[in-house]
Amino acid sequence: MLEGLLIGLQTALSFQNILLVIGGCLIGTFIGMLPGLGPMSIISIMIPVAISMGDPSGALILLAGVYYGAIFGGSTSSILLNAPGVAGTVASAFDGYPMAKQGKAGKALTIAAVSSFAGGTIGALLLMIFAPALSSVALLFHSSEYFALMVVGLCAIAAFTGTGQVAKALLMTVFGLIMATVGEGTLFSLPRFTMGIMDLQTGFGFITLAMAMFALPEALLLVLKPKEMTDGGGEIKDLRITKKEAKAIAPVIGRQSLQGFFIGVLPGAGATVASFLGYAVERNIATKEEQDDFGKGSIKGLAAPETANNAACTGSFVPLLTLGIPGSGTTAILLGALLALNVTPGPRLMIDEPQVFWAVIMSMFIGNLVLLVLNLPLIPYIAKVLSVPRNYLIPFILFFTLMGAYIGQNNATELLMLVGFGVCATALRFANYPLAPLLIGFILGGMLEDNFARSMQLYDGVAFIWERPMTLGLLVIAVCLILLPTYRNKRAKNKKTDGPDNI
């Protein structure tokens, strides 16, 4: 291992590779800030450039820098405009955007930058230490465990609800699952619920739905409720994190770096699941007073998903490099780039190509430091987006919303769906229905269906639930996540009834 580290350090610290790390991080950060252009899009564009270099180490360092740079920068549009263009930064908008509306955009971006840096750096350290051992752990997870993990993610929706809103959140989750079934099924490749519309054969686009649930209602509410929304920008201040705030988010960063990394190790989980579960876990273990702040500008609610998604990005390189299994769409593209460069990922990669394996890990430390140095000085300037008068900000939000939806599918029908879903989402917000569970159900619905169908085929029915102890254990955790808020609400009501009047 020590020899591999020295080889990786020597390769990563070459002048060319340092430039590639900086270039990849810069490109990824600015692309991540634009809704609609996620890491998959830019990595696909960058692959010909990487392959033409001829050096596998340099190519993977460049593409990896673009990957975690995009996740790092993706929080900016979520926090400032409530327009998450990357699935892994959806949860960052839950508390990041309320902070921005309270005039704390600078502080929110600082917390996001520091949390992302810590998650990525701790993740890289864990990758360096545990990569060989974790590759065997990842193999223990079969389709039934992935199904159970998706159920846990869906049941965590209780974390995105207020008191007494669990039923509403469950209903919205079911709507999300229903929407995920539109289009061709993975198992049979036959169109379902498309109503004869050819453009629906590939299903609803994630970018379209994300923009419709969060960004478009924001623009419509600026028009419908101008008095309530005029104080969103204000003076940009409080760019620094106080000692008290740093002390509050430090344990969150520590927990979510570990949790996010280990979720990222599991093929098929990735940054999106890690960010949602990170948010859910931190809300459920918070005190009652802190729980009330979640969704209203909680610093813990912002630090948790930002740490978890960056740690998961690093963790996703474990199955990619040690098993040759892509854990997400982005790592699948990276796998294709490796194969095009005549590098075969797998258990022998550390032995046959140590300079590739260890150089990528060492470059992650450099890359995360570069991202922090690049982003922190720019925060006051980035945050000034919110100082733009609201009547000018509306067309700005609409432009990026429409552009993101169109680029995501390159299809004009997406614009019609965006407007339709956006109007429905605005009505649901007026009715006080949480929109986050719908998007979670949509994102996890496809993976849930695929893994459930495979498990049914392998075990001739639902026998996999009791035949695989790990699956049963995860499903028990899922049930507890549903029952816990109900129990808390009931206990709170009992305390009220046994209050001072009854003493």
CB atoms within 10 A of CB 434: 23
For residue range 365-406, list pLDDT tens digits in order.
888 888 888 777 877 777 666 566 666 767 777 877 777 677
For residue range 149-164, list pLDDT tens digits in order.
778 777 766 555 555 5
pTM over 0.75: no
CB 239 within 8 A of CB 106: yes
User: Once rounded to an integer, what is the mean pLDDT over residues 49-61?
Assistant: 81
Q: Which of 13-22, 152-161, 219-228, 301-310 has the lowest mean pLDDT?
A: 152-161
Q: What are the phi and psi torsion angles at 193 (to 5°)? A: 55, 35
What is the model's pLDDT at position 231?
45
What is the model's pLDDT at position 234?
47
Q: What is the distance between the alpha carbons of residues 197 and 307, in angstroms, rounded to a whole number?
A: 40
Q: What is the distance between the alpha carbons of residues 21 and 25, in angstroms, rounded to a whole number?
A: 6
What is the model's pLDDT at position 339?
76
- Is the pLDDT at 239 greater than 80, yes or no? no
Q: Which of 50-54, 178-182, 219-223, 487-491 has the highest mean pLDDT?
A: 178-182
High-pLDDT (> 70) share of the chain, %: 81
**Cα 319 versus chain centre, distance:** 18
Q: What is the distance between the alpha carbons of residues 60 and 65, in angstroms, rounded to a whole number?
A: 8
Instruction: Taking each helix axis as running N to C, give the angle between helix 270-285 and helix 436-459, from 0 to 180 degrees, rounded to the nearest 10.
Output: 110
- Is the pLDDT at 34 greater than 50, yes or no? yes
- Which of left, alpha, beta for 269 (phi over 0: left; psi -120 to 50: alpha)? alpha
**Cα 435 versus chain centre, distance:** 16
Residue 125: exposed, middle, or buried by beta-carbon count in 10 A (0-12, 13-18, 19+)? middle
Q: What is the distance between the alpha carbons of residues 329 and 334, in angstroms, rounded to a whole number?
A: 9
- Is the pLDDT at 490 greater than 60, yes or no? yes
Nearest to 66 by CA among 370, 376, 407, 383: 370
For residue range 132-150, list pLDDT tens digits in order.
676 566 667 777 877 887 7
CB atoms within 10 A of CB 221: 15
CB 56 within 8 A of CB 353: yes
Q: What is the distance between the alpha carbons of residues 263 and 175, in angstroms, rounded to a whole number?
A: 26
The distance between the two most distant Cα atoms of the chain, rounded to a whole number of Å, is: 79
What is the model's pLDDT at position 242?
83
Q: What is the distance between the alpha carbons of residues 10 and 359, in angstroms, rounded to a whole number?
A: 8
- Is the pLDDT at 203 greater than 60, yes or no? yes
High-pLDDT (> 90) share of the chain, %: 4
CB 38 within 8 A of CB 83: no
